[in-house]
A and B are shown apart, each in its own frame.
Chain A
Amino acid sequence: MSGRDAMDHGVRLHDGRVFTVKAGETLLEAALRCGLRVPHNCRVGACATCRCKVVSGRARSLVDRAYALPQEELGNAVFLACQTLPLSDLVVDWTLQPGEPQLPPGDDPES
């Protein structure tokens, strides 16, 4: 698909596990294909369950991350794995606590 990287990239996780992201695959798709148990849920880039930090390497988000992540994380290399394509080999910290979904904000708690 246009704009997608045509190369495979290697990813090393915080705990040393390694997997390959094929061209056009998202981080989450690749991790699941390789049988890794990683936090995820909605798969549309909204619930922030799959958020992870790119410690080294370059990645591209397919969607506007501001939909799901707080401001300070945007500048801090935090990505949503289900919407992220690697642009180089990556080192990823996938231990972030799956925080409360950011959306919709500040309204009624469950009753």
Chain B
Amino acid sequence: MHHYLKHAFLIAVVPLVAGLLVLAPRWAFMAPLFLMAFHVALDMGTSRDTTVPSYRFPRVVDAYLYLHIAVTVFCLAMLLWFAAGPASWLELLGASFTVGFLISGSTLVGHELTHRVTDRFAMLAGRVSLALVGDAQFSISHVYGHHVNVATAKDAATARRGENLYAFAVRSTLGQYREAWQIERRRLRGRSRRARALANRVISGLGMTAVVLAVFWLFAGWRGLAAYALVWASTKFMFEAVNYIEHYGLVRVPGSPVEARHSWDCSTRAACNILLNLPRHAHHHADPSVKYWALRPTEGSPDLPYGYIAHIALAMIPPLWHRFSAPRLAEWDATMATPGERELAALANRLSGHRLLVRAAIPGERPSPIN
């Protein structure tokens, strides 16, 4: 029973909090803080979860994904109702920001479903899940860009050494759109102009988001549009923060096999259970067709010791993040990297412009690896 419930946090708690916050909008800003604190406490205060239960009814844990889409629609509807009502702009700001935070799990769900490239229904549901938070392009750039180019300079969604979270979020957002657009153009080359426009999945994804925008505009005018824009920004930020910590600073020789060492893995309980095992990231890259409940922790991948939310919080304060990550990257270079990667890493350290990393590029000045 417990195994079935452990991935149900989002669909159980998110609609509850969304309901509460339209009733008590003054406290809206507290909800993300409270949820993050809960997540961190669970990560730090309980043992790691390395279990891979086998499910007799995998359809149950699979259904969570589809239920989450309904939860997202419910949250957006609550926000729309709130925006159309008499709430002050400040209350609307808080509610929108928080709803965005709450439904950022849509990107997890969209990610899981759009990897099922051979299942048309899952693909459509996944793209809807992503489009609800304005990011349907991810279904293209992630599968056909990120999975090929991960940990190389070609990949928009791999954070470079010394890059701070905020700069990364902007570069990655724009870069992913650019990749998705190029990938679709390439796939559709040779077709007529009209066929290209109709079949282009970046365009159809934006179209789905445009429908959401239109509904917000129709029922709540400018307040509705502003609310949805904030939802988009807050979801996107959480999502890019996850992208940031998944591969930060790791390097790979282009064309060489993607291995366990090219993803930061994380086995803390809240991260794995709440975030649908996305933190078991090395296994996901080793075999992207594995469903979320069957992902395993991977030996030989670098470890994020404190859990996803704690690391995101660290990344939000760049000086702290660099102090945390520089020695860990030095450790990675020394113990995991191939000779070719070590050269790329030294170059990345020099280019980073960050003193902790530049120093690591000078022999004998390496910050002592963590024990």
Contact = CB atoms under 8 A, between A and B. Distances in A.
Contacts of B115: 44
B117 A41 contact: no
B117 A103 contact: no
**Could you say which of B115, B117, B178, B258 has the most chain A C-beta atoms within 10 Å of its C-beta?**
B117
A105 B182 contact: yes
Contact of A66 (B145, B187, B287): B187
Contacts of B188: 66
Contact of B288 (A43, A63, A104): A43
B187 A101 contact: no
A110 interface: yes
Interface string A77-111: 00000010000000000000000111111011011
Interface in B138-176: 143-145, 147-149, 152-154
A42 B179 CA distance: 17
Contact of B117 (A45, A100, A110): A45
Nearest to B287: A43
A44 B118 contact: no
Contact of A44 (B144, B154, B190): B144
A1 B120 CA distance: 12
A71 B286 CA distance: 28
A104 B183 CA distance: 6
B152 A110 contact: yes
A8 B43 CA distance: 46
B264 to A, nearest CB: 19
8 contacts: A44-B148, A44-B288, A47-B148, A63-B118, A66-B189, A68-B144, A104-B178, A105-B185
A111 B154 CA distance: 9
A63 B153 CA distance: 26
B182 A46 contact: no
B153 A103 contact: no
A64 B143 CA distance: 13
Contacts of A108: 153-154
A29 to B, nearest CB: 9
Contacts of A68: 144
A71 B118 contact: no
Interface string A39-72: 0011111110000000000000011101110010
Contacts of A41: 148, 257-258
Nearest to A40: B257
Nearest to B145: A104
Given A44-B288, A104-B182, A64 B187 contact: yes
Interface of B: 115, 117-119, 143-145, 147-149, 152-154, 178-179, 182-183, 185-190, 254-255, 257-258, 286-289
A103 B145 CA distance: 7
Interface core residue of B152, B178, B182 (most chain A CB under 10 Å): B182
Given A62-B118, A110-B152, A110-B154, A103 B144 contact: yes
Contacts of B286: 43
Closest 4 CB pairs of A and B: A62-B118, A46-B144, A104-B182, A47-B148
B189 A103 contact: no
A71 B189 contact: yes
Given A103-B183, A104-B178, A110-B153, 6 more contacts: A62-B117, A62-B118, A67-B183, A83-B118, A104-B145, A110-B152
Contacts of A67: 144, 183, 186-187
B16 to A, nearest CB: 35
A100 B152 CA distance: 14
A44 B182 contact: no
A46 B288 CA distance: 12
B117 A63 contact: yes
A62 B254 CA distance: 26
Contacts of B288: 42-44
Nearest to A3: B118
A104 B140 CA distance: 11
